[in-house]
Amino acid sequence: MNKYSFIFLLFILLSLGSVFAINSSFLLSKDASSVYLVASFNNFEPVEMERGFGELWRYSIDLEPGEYLYKYIIDGEEILDFQNSNITVFNGEVFNVRVVKEPYSFPKTGDGRVKEIYFRNERRYINPVKPGEIYLAIEFEKNDIEDVNLQSNAKLVSKEVIESGNNVIYRFHVFTEAPVLKYRFAIDDSQEIIYGYNGTENFFEFDFSKPIIPYFDTPEWAKGRVYYQIFPDRFRNGDPHNDPKGTYNWYGPHNQSSLGSSFYGGDLQGVIDSVDYLEYLGVEAIYFNPIFEALSTHKYDTKNYLKIDPSFGDEEIFLDMLDILHEYDMKVILDGVFNHTGTEFFAMQENFAKQEESRYLDWYYIKSFPIRKSTSSYEGWHGYADLPQLNNNNPKVKAYINHVIGKWMSLGIDGWRLDAVDQLPVSYWASLYENFKNIDENTFIVGEFWRDATSYFEDPAFDSVMNYIFRDAVISYARGGSANNFVKTTNAYLDKYPPQVLHSLWNLLGSHDTERILTALDENVDKMKLAAVLHITFIGSPLIYYGDEIGMTGTTDPFCRVPFYWDEDMWNMNIFDLYQALIQLRKDSLAIRQGDYNVLYSKGNVLIYERSYKSEKVIVALNSKNASVNVNYKLDGEYVDYFSKEKVNVIESIPANGFYILFSE
């Protein structure tokens, strides 16, 4: 066996030693005549190690859990253990540190011992909303303790017990008028164990005048609202006079080329002309894909951030639209594309024209000269030469972006959706978020992020994100997936995100970047109805992609960007009528709009959950199976079916791909 094999064996044995932690072996692979171990467990008296096969030296001893200092004497020379990077200095000498842990034992409720306590200065555990309001959480391994209560000088609003993987979290929502919150945790595990500051029984203190974690709340108006996404060129053509040359026929025929690059004439006047439709549907806010001047149909290649694209109108028509939408109590969210520009943007144009003499070279990531329209000359967003990547670390770029957001916010917009936020560090967005809030604390900031967004809420950087996790969960369930998988997927973010965020999350089923939801569900209308029920009744804020509510179909970009069908003969009225009814229900029900969410039953394809607010309860029951399922779920009282108006106290069965929405009497 060669030297490297012995080193590998040494690593394995050391790992096993730390797992069992009673018999500890010191192992060394070295070609030597003599090896001694000098260690603190023996008052640093050298003990001779036993030579095994080949070059392996061993010394074994039973040790109590703790930390031990050691080093080797090899042929008379003191040498550290090169495989152990844990070192310290003691009495002027350098030693390795061996940590001996207790053998792993499974947590046991009622043994009067707490295996592990998780409580740190992170928003997961200390989550201040505003002065006087805070969430406090403490975490343990499952089955380790019986209960936890909070002892404090605050009023307890709610207590939640949340299972998170192999752990359980106890979260307390409290209010206080005291300038300093004093608190500690009382752990019940056959006896009371007090956990306070530094592990003592002393109270923790949270000074509301000097929060150790920033305050974080989302605008009240944004919570539970119904949002609608409009891709401007494809929504409605209200003014043919501003149509670009060669505008394509609205109803096609459509193909990859026409949908990808042709203009269809949609504009802001078209939105104004559609306000009655939007009101009838129940829309309460509109998110617009980019409306600033650009060459493309999608407008993500910005030419001028300070000007409305001429094919959509001008600033005057924008202000008219803004006023009209606000009259209908519809908020306006603009798309902020701040990590790249188009090649027609003034700074990039000067780079092309003046080359090394340009004042804007450091606004981008220039690679070589002469600068040509090529990613060999500069960094392009995702490798696209049409989308040169901005240097957002440049103070002048930051100042320009602040100028842009200041202009449009001064005109009265209500928020921003920020594009492709994963392209820049969280710290950048957190700084920009602070700028937004300094202009207007009620502005609503949403990040485009497709995965777990927990890190963006720590400082924070956004009020919400586009919740693609929800979309994935709905599609999987509606296609016949299990209720437990839906619950597991959604709980993964519901349990991790700050509670004050949950009602503002943009729950979407489709967008300009995905296939349409009806297409994703194989154009099965019953499956689509299941998705719609989840979309509108789940905790969060539904974001409807234009046309999904009338049953439009289409695969991914660009086929998901077909112009809206204004010919009502092309609408699927079953889908539209359901959406309209569900949205009205949401607007009428505080339980659905801003209430708590609790899973009552999840077995096989059947999912039953409750939305509750004060005394109001709404129960939603769904079955994603292509066959009726017997449930026999007894309710806690008498409920009324929202659609049939029948009284119900037991859910006996749910039809194939069916659902019930039940109100408490």
Burial of residue 370 (CB within 10 Å: 0-12, 13-18, 19+) is exposed
Residue 1 — very low, low, confident or very high, per pLDDT cuts 50/70/90? very low
Domain CATH number, residue 636 = 2.60.40.1180
Position 319 scores a pLDDT of: 99
Q: For residue 640, what are the contacts with CB-CB under 8 A and spacing of at least 6?
A: 646, 647, 648, 662, 663, 665
Distance, CA of 514 to CA of 125 (rounded, Å): 35
Tell me how many degrees the CA angle 333-336-337 measures, rounded to the nearest 5: 150
Is 139 found in the same domain as 185? yes
Distance, CA of 405 to CA of 333 (rounded, Å): 12
Is 274 found in the same domain as 194? no
Q: Which SS3 state, helix, strand or coil, does residue 418 take?
A: strand
Model confidence over 453-511: pLDDT tens digits?
999 999 999 999 999 999 999 999 999 999 999 999 999 999 999 999 999 999 999 99
478: left (phi over 0), alpha (psi -120 to 50) or beta: alpha
Is 577 found in the same domain as 492? yes
Tell me which residue range forms the domain holding 159: 117-207
Cis geometry, peptide bond prior to residue 563 (ω within 30 degrees of 0): no
Domain CATH number, residue 289 = 3.20.20.80
Q: Which SS3 state, helix, strand or coil, does residue 480 take?
A: coil
Distance, CA of 294 to CA of 312 (rounded, Å): 11
- pTM attached to this predicted model: 0.85
Is the model's pLDDT at 289 over the cut of 60?
yes
Distance, CA of 158 to CA of 171 (rounded, Å): 8
- Whether 521 maps to a domain, the answer reads yes
Q: Tell me what the mean pLDDT of segment 39-68 comes to.
A: 93
Q: Which of 68, 100, 132 is the last residue of a domain?
A: 100
Is 166 found in the same domain as 49? no
Distance, CA of 661 to CA of 665 (rounded, Å): 13
Model confidence over 628-653: pLDDT tens digits?
999 999 999 999 999 999 999 999 99
Q: Could you tell me the two tokens for 35?
A: 């090896």
Q: Could you tell me the two tokens for 448?
A: 């485009």
In 221-261, at which residue ranges do the beta strands (DSSP E only) sit? 227-230
Q: For residue 354, what are the contacts with CB-CB under 8 A and spacing of at least 6?
A: none
3-state helix, strand, coil in the chain (%, to 5): 30, 30, 40
- Whether 370 maps to a domain, the answer reads no
Burial of residue 652 (CB within 10 Å: 0-12, 13-18, 19+) is exposed
What is the average pLDDT value for the chain, to the nearest integer? 95
Q: Tell me what the mean pLDDT of segment 536-549 comes to.
A: 99
Model confidence over 149-167: pLDDT tens digits?
999 999 999 999 999 889 9
Output the DSSP codes for 178-244: SSEEEEEEEEESSSEEEE-GGGSSSPEEEETTS-SS------GGGTT--EEEE-GGGT----GGGPP
The answer to whether 231 touches 299, Cβ cutoff 8 Å, is no
Position 103 scores a pLDDT of: 74
The answer to whether 203 touches 176, Cβ cutoff 8 Å, is no
Is 650 found in the same domain as 534? no
Q: Which SS3 state, helix, strand or coil, does residue 302 take?
A: strand
Is 476 found in the same domain as 328? yes
Is 535 found in the same domain as 428? yes
The answer to whether 275 touches 266, Cβ cutoff 8 Å, is no
Distance, CA of 398 to CA of 221 (rounded, Å): 28
- Whether 320 maps to a domain, the answer reads yes
Between β-strands 596-603 and 606-613, what pairing exists: parallel, antiparallel or unpaired? antiparallel
Q: Which of 71, 100, 129 is the last residue of a domain?
A: 100
Domain CATH number, residue 13 = 2.60.40.10
Burial of residue 200 (CB within 10 Å: 0-12, 13-18, 19+) is exposed
Position 15 scores a pLDDT of: 40
Q: Give the H or E element holding residue 279.
A: helix 275-281
Is 58 found in the same domain as 40? yes
Enumerate the β-bridge partners of residue 130.
133
Closest CA to 448 of 465, 470, 426, 431: 465
Is 572 found in the same domain as 464? yes
- Whether 107 maps to a domain, the answer reads no
Model confidence over 87-141: pLDDT tens digits?
999 999 999 999 998 777 778 888 888 989 999 999 999 999 999 999 999 999 9
- Whether 367 maps to a domain, the answer reads no
Is 525 found in the same domain as 619? no
**How many C-beta atoms surround the C-beta of residue 203 within 10 A?**
17
Q: Which of 49, 67, 100 is the last residue of a domain?
A: 100
Q: Give the H or E element holding residue 414.
A: none
Model confidence over 415-426: pLDDT tens digits?
999 999 999 999
In 121-164, at which residue ranges do the beta strands (DSSP E only) sit? 126-130, 133-141, 147-152, 155-164
Closest CA to 514 of 573, 588, 448: 448
- Catalytic residue numbers read 419, 448
- Whether 360 maps to a domain, the answer reads no
Model confidence over 325-353: pLDDT tens digits?
999 999 999 999 999 999 999 999 999 99
Largest separation between any pair of C-alpha atoms in the chain: 95
Distance, CA of 119 to CA of 136 (rounded, Å): 9
Distance, CA of 538 to CA of 532 (rounded, Å): 10
- Whether 374 maps to a domain, the answer reads no
- Whether 108 maps to a domain, the answer reads no
Is 576 found in the same domain as 474? yes
Tell me how many degrees the CA angle 512-517-518 measures, rounded to the nearest 5: 130
Single-letter amino acid, residue 5: S
For residue 507, the number of C-alpha atoms closer than 13 Å in the C-beta half-sphere is 28
Is 461 found in the same domain as 510? yes
**Total number of domains constituting the chain:** 4
Distance, CA of 167 to CA of 164 (rounded, Å): 5
